[in-house]
Amino acid sequence: MLHINRLWCKGCGICIAFCPKKALSLDAEGKAVHEPDKCVSCGLCEQYCPDLAIMLEGKPGKGKKEAAS
């Protein structure tokens, strides 16, 4: 699940540039928004956001050790 903190987002567009599936865009207020149907949870938007406004929960591979035990 992708969360965008609208208070921290400055609308720089870096997340949009790095999204391989074009799942992000800027809304009328100039803030990043995403289309969940297009998002593949790659995490590039979170990694490159200079304002730390994007957080990806449930990253692939997270918690696999606990499930395998």
- 3-to-7, 16, 41, 68 alpha-carbon distances in Å: 12, 14, 11, 28
pLDDT given at position 12 = 97
Are the C-beta atoms of 4 and 33 separated by less than 8 Å?
A: yes
pLDDT given at position 58 = 79
| Tokens (6 digits) for 27 | 């809304």
Task: Going residue by residue through the chain, which has 69 residues, state the pLDDT in tens, using 9 for 90 and above.
Answer: 899 999 999 999 999 999 999 999 999 999 999 999 999 999 999 999 999 999 999 765 444 444 444
